[in-house]
Amino acid sequence: MGQHKDEQACSLLTIVCVQGLCGAAVVAGLKIVPAIVGFDIVTHPVETLEISLVYCWTAIAGTFTLMSAPYSFSRPVWQSLGYGLLSVPVGALVAVLVAVAFGAPTSLEFASQTWHWACFMSMLVAVPAAIVLGDSWADWQRIFAFTRPKGRLELAICVPAHGATIGAWVGAWPIPLDWDRPWQAWPISCTYGAAGGYLVGLATSSILSLLDRS
């Protein structure tokens, strides 16, 4: 079924290393590197998200391509990377539509912020799935609509993706409150929420992989 086989054979060490690298890339892109340059997501949201996208793409696309290669059915590495690259704008478009439906600003003033945030969400949610699952719609539905991952590799996709999505939703809660805090501006709190949820998802999927005896 689908474009991959026997993900359960993924070693626990491989999963933990990949999850650790992906988590480190998110932290480095959102906090460490911007601080070194001299700004942060509150003062320069677009620039910070651009840096984060570079780090996240390098870590997530690279590690998931290498990790899934032994479990793919005769799909070359370049094709897996192609799926991952194509998934960024496609996933971002979906994220924009969902964000607008939930009340994100639609004015041109926030267009760049919204698009960069949507690309960040696509990086966390869509890219790993696109690289591993390819165009297998049945597997996409099983993982994202029904939350039924099989094996460690799919756990590494499913749990962090759900964590990022829930985190972004929780991060949106403070935006309409009249606290007048700089971090309440769109899309700062949603970005923090998505990153936090993603990191929790990485840790959770690693623990579930440890408990997986199949």
Assess whether the previous peptide bond of 76 is cis (omega < 30° from 0): no
Per-residue model confidence (pLDDT) at position 2: 42
Model confidence pLDDT, tens digit, residues 92-151: 999 999 999 999 999 999 999 999 999 999 999 999 999 999 888 999 999 999 999 988
- pTM, whole model, 2 decimals? 0.91
Per-residue model confidence (pLDDT) at position 75: 73
Tokens of 115: 């698009």
151 versus 59: the higher-pLDDT residue is: 59
| CA dist., res. 188 & res. 183, Å (int) | 6
CB 143 within 8 A of CB 158: yes
Q: Does residue 178 surpass a pLDDT of 90? A: no
Q: Does residue 56 surpass a pLDDT of 90? A: yes
